[in-house]
Copies of this chain bind each other. A is one copy, B any other.
């Protein structure tokens, strides 16, 4: 009886190690099966040194955390990474990391670690985190958008990440919402990203200033070449119509994407996250209006589109959840 009791206690002390691999910092945490962050550390990512160096330093930090923990056992490591994660979560490709083509992230990490590793796209794990402990913890079918340099997206169906056939589903930033729109980096015209990603919002604000539609925007870009979406948002908040229109356009594009995703997947909740989500007040009215008007199946109901609740913890919790889901299967 005593042994059993001790085992049970030990299993309650077990933890997953999760990693949120950002372009600037990587954050590593120990997370228990109930979603409590027991410990969190952070080091610079230094992408310029290449993926092998990033993996080496990431694994060193993970080993340090495992070694330092006095109780419990590490059941596995989960990593949310920017970019595409292909084929059974084995291969990784990202424009933000130097080194072309596919990189065997999981295999490289498992070569350095004594526990199994699971990797997935950062927006996917953030979506899973919000469904586990955040803004969508009351539902099992949800979609998360991250508004930043690009528009990331993660879809959770029946409580699990939907990765698609080859692991590269939910690239909703590249859904076409405006067939005759601007040319996206991906080679297609009118992707959601060309309207709702931060650099595109800045670009549209810049154009409006150049076209003489807004004196405050013209002044902003004359003074500050690297003006950010945050700068544009402040001008919008002061009531400038051209700046407001940039966010309204982004809201409408997001609303159309939400409507189409609802029509296709009949989801329960949408979560908006990422830096540009701070402009919530500027884009959410047009987003909700468009989503409501464009969604056939949901016409009679209100679509729940909400802000992230976990903010910068969504990725860490989601990557840990991924480990716990594998562990429990």
Contacts and interface: CB of A to CB of B under 8 A. Distances in A.
A191 B296 contact: yes
Contacts of A172: 263-264
B297 A165 contact: no
A51 interface: no
B188 A267 contact: no
A242 to B, nearest CB: 21
Interface stretch (A232-240, A254-262, A276-284): A254-262
A288 to B, nearest CB: 15
A267 B166 CA distance: 9
A260 B157 contact: no
A115 interface: no
Nearest to A191: B296
A169 B171 CA distance: 19
A296 B174 contact: yes
A176 B266 contact: no
A186 interface: yes
A177 interface: yes
Residue from A171, A259, A293 having most chain B Cβ neighbours under 10 A: A171
Interface residues of A, number: 43
A314 B219 CA distance: 63
A86 B169 CA distance: 26
Interface in A286-301: 293-297, 299
Residue from A163, A260, A261 having most chain B Cβ neighbours under 10 A: A260
A183 to B, nearest CB: 12
A68 B166 CA distance: 47
Contacts of A164: 141, 265-267
A266 B299 contact: no
Nearest to A253: B179
Given A141-B165, A157-B157, A165-B141, A264 B296 contact: no
A175 interface: yes
Task: Tell me the dominant secondary structure on chain A's binding face.
Answer: loop
Contacts of A157: 157, 162
Contacts of A19: none
Given A165-B141, A264-B155, A264-B264, A174 B297 contact: yes
Interface in A60-92: 84
A141 B169 CA distance: 12
A170 interface: yes
A299 B185 CA distance: 13
20 contacts: A157-B157, A157-B162, A164-B265, A164-B266, A169-B265, A169-B266, A170-B265, A170-B266, A171-B264, A171-B296, A172-B263, A176-B256, A176-B294, A177-B179, A186-B299, A187-B296, A188-B293, A188-B295, A261-B264, A264-B264
